[in-house]
Amino acid sequence: MEIEGHPYLFVRGFKHDFFAATGLYDGSGGQIVLKIGRRVSFFGIPMAWTGRFLARREAAMFRLLADLEGVPRLVGMWGRGAMAHEFVPGHVLRKGERVPDDFFARLHEAIRAMHARDMAYVDLEKCENVLVGDDGRPYLFDFQIALRLPRWARWFPPARWLLRRFQEGDLYHLTKLQRRSRPDQLSPEVLAASYRRPWYVRVHRWLTRPFQAMRRRVLRRLDPVRATGIRVERGRIDE
């Protein structure tokens, strides 16, 4: 395939879920990550529009954060339902992994910069959404469910209130990630607070846990690879 005049060839897949297929491509423009939004129907319901919508939305997030350290550069769109960003060599953050001393300071700075732009990352609950670059720095690469408050909504109190709750959730989950990887960097007060789950996080978990459990059961039935406990993680197969 070709993006911005550069041809690319498929190298390997990273992830393939309900909403998108993500893979590594190599070409004259270097190595890139292409995320192709869903195209096929679901039980007869057309879903291609969701793939196009999410691809354009995520590309817009990358453009808004183009000057932010720790966010890969947007390469461009492929058709109407796929977007590509530059590939950053590294691995996803592992639970309990000891990272460099300045890792979380840099990650906090990136999240704070997002918040200053009326945005929230939303998906820091999973450590797999943070990339540890080969240079030892943190990178955010998945903005599929990130939230940005539109200009028209910035003076609407309920919208501002909701955005603040998501931003507070970002900081809570970020502290929890740091507690698991570098607890030595947290004060006793912050460490104790990280175990107290905010009410809005408890509500979110209460609402989403049944769906997640059902999704796992369905995937175990449909995907024998998942059933064996084997997963592909940025090109590496783990058990």
Q: What CATH number corresponds to the domain at position 135? A: 1.10.510.10
Within-domain flag for 111:
yes
Within-domain flag for 209:
yes
pLDDT digits (tens, 9 = 90+) for 23-41: 999 999 999 999 999 998 9
Looking at the structure, do residues 193 and 168 belong to the same domain, yes or no? yes
Looking at residue 100, what is its pLDDT? Answer: 96
pLDDT digits (tens, 9 = 90+) for 185-200: 999 999 998 888 876 6
Looking at residue 18, what is its pLDDT? Answer: 86
Looking at the structure, do residues 94 and 75 belong to the same domain, yes or no? no
Mean pLDDT of all residues in 37-64? 93
What is the share, in percent, of the chain residues with pLDDT greater than 90? 68
Residue 44 burial class via C-beta count within 10 angstroms: exposed 0-12, middle 13-18, buried 19 and up: exposed
- Nearest 10 degrees: Cα torsion 95, 21, 40, 213: -10
Looking at the structure, do residues 9 and 95 belong to the same domain, yes or no? no
Looking at residue 89, what is its pLDDT? Answer: 96
d(CA 89, CA 3): 21
Counting the structural domains of the chain, the total is: 2
Looking at residue 224, what is its pLDDT? Answer: 56
For residue 151, pLDDT beyond 90:
no
Looking at residue 35, what is its pLDDT? Answer: 97
For residue 227, pLDDT beyond 60:
no
Looking at the structure, do residues 97 and 198 belong to the same domain, yes or no? yes
Buried b (16+ CB within 10 A) or exposed e, 190-204: eeeebeeeeeebeeb
- CA proximity to 84, closest of 147, 132, 37, 131: 37
Within-domain flag for 235:
no
Looking at residue 229, what is its pLDDT? Answer: 43
Amino acid at 70: G
Looking at the structure, do residues 117 and 156 belong to the same domain, yes or no? yes
d(CA 113, CA 110): 5
Q: Containing domain of residue 107, as a range?
A: 90-222
Within-domain flag for 232:
no
In the three-class reduction of DSSP (H, G, I as helix; E, B as strand; rest coil), residue 79 is classed as coil
